[in-house]
Amino acid sequence: MINKTDKLKEECGVLGIYSCAALDENNECDENKKARVAAARKIYFGLFALQHRGQQSCGIASCDAKGADAKTIHLVKENGLLTDVFTEKNLATLEGNIALGHVRYSPRGHFRENAQPIVARYCKGSITLASNGNITNSEKLKEELLNEGAVFQSTNEVEVMMHLIARERPNSHSIENAVKKVMKRLEGSYSMVLMSPRKLVAARDPKGFRPLCLGKAGNDYIVASESVAFDVMGAKFIRDIEPGEIIVIEKGGITSHKEYCNKEKPSLCVFEYIYFARPDSVIDGVSVYNARMEIGRRLAKAHPVKADLVIGVPDSGLNFAHGFSDESGIPYGDGLIRNRYTGRTFIKETQKEREEAVALKLNPLRANIEGKRIIMIDDSIVRGTTTQNLVKILKKAGAKEVHIRIGSPPFLNPCYFGTDIPSGSELASVKYTHQELTKKLGADSLGFLPIDDLEKIGLRKDFGYCNGCFSGKYPIKIHGK
């Protein structure tokens, strides 16, 4: 099914916790019993901070790392938002001091079977797995597994990872050793969190395409896609998990395995800073908010224009607009008001339906834009339909001019590492020349962030970033391409 909206979606967000609060076998007081369901509840609240990374489905799994109950996995997952899926009743079933959660978006199919976490039972007990990213050689690995008799219940590549780990575990002295062996076979992007009966394991691919970080709250260790989840959970950010690193958390504490670290140049997706991550997150030592403010300043330098007001498209364009205003001296103001109660926007089949969906979500603030020359700033242009509709809305509300500025370079290539950027034939900047696109959008001018400026938005000099969707230069070879 093709995503016909004009906003990009990212694969998902992961979150895991190991709590030592309920491990005292001699403590049977009420407070200890409360602690036995606290891990999953903390995951539930932390996932709200990651909901922007996926709205198709969500899930939480838990287990108790002590006694005979250690092999029992409690799982709740379903299509929908967190508020659709979880209730006080089903949260109360998620007992245990280890828990992991997941929010998901995927262009591969909106089926419940693809919801994560995924649970498997095998000769060594059970494995529960959730991941963020895209394994570029998953089809090849799946074909090998099918030829060996493997059975799959979903189209989710995380199930491929699960099969591989389960097969390696009987010949490995630990679950982390099995993960280590499987990582040699995986190509592409993944930030995975794995729960065994007595351990929580987190691993980030050697190129670090997707973010993953470590936090702590009291005696609880937490791993998350973004540091903002720690704020909600009352935890303190410790550090980013390094590309290629495996973290193991168990009763005895935390250990790190770095055999795969510094073997390859990191290639974190630069679009995390442009759009995916929340502005209050810090990823690999860089503030997302500061990066977006600098993007706005760079846009103002690269594409100056005389205007009366700078506005941002909520919510991703707001930081860019502030930065543009600071650099240009043109006042910042509200121009589009978001209706926060529209819920999810489902796929619209006709242009009229798509226009109605945009109008339902964003309404012009006529008193602030009528008769003015407006600079409207957004994060990206995919097919151009949303941007075109927003220009119509602003001009209908009385804007004298609408100048579009985009906080990223033009999309010219698909992504193979977990973002549903469509094929080139569907991308507006491929289909049209710059002049044609400006006219099609109904804009008075159009400016994108120059690709060379991506290196100047405050990113780390000792790190590496993937910008293949803009440049066509991918950090790894893509199978069949």
Q: Which of 2-6, 110-114, 409-413 has the lowest mean pLDDT?
A: 2-6
0.75 exceeded by the pTM? yes
Q: What is the mean pLDDT of the chain?
A: 89
Contact in structure between 188 and 11 (CB atoms under 8 Å): no
pLDDT tens column, 32-90 = 555 567 899 999 999 999 999 998 999 999 998 765 455 689 999 999 999 999 999 99
Contact at 8 Å (CB) between 441 and 382? no
Better pLDDT: 23 or 144: 144
Gap between the Cα atoms of 401 and 148, Å rounded: 63
Domains along the sequence of the chain with CATH: 12-264 (3.60.20.10), 286-471 (3.40.50.2020)
Closest CA to 16 of 185, 263, 235, 264: 235
DSSP state of 251: T
Q: What is the mean pLDDT of residues 305-322?
A: 96
User: Which stretches does DSSP call E strand in 260-396?
Assistant: 268-269, 282-283, 286-287, 309-312, 336-338, 362-364, 373-378
pLDDT confidence band for 123 (50 / 70 / 90):
confident
- Residues noted as catalytic: 12
| Token representation of residue 256 | 């790190």
Extract long-range pairs of 169-173: CB within 8 Å, 24+ residues apart.
Answer: 169/122, 169/124, 169/127, 170/123, 170/124
How far is the C-alpha of 422 from the C-alpha of 61, rounded, in Å? 32
Token digits for 392?
């119509």
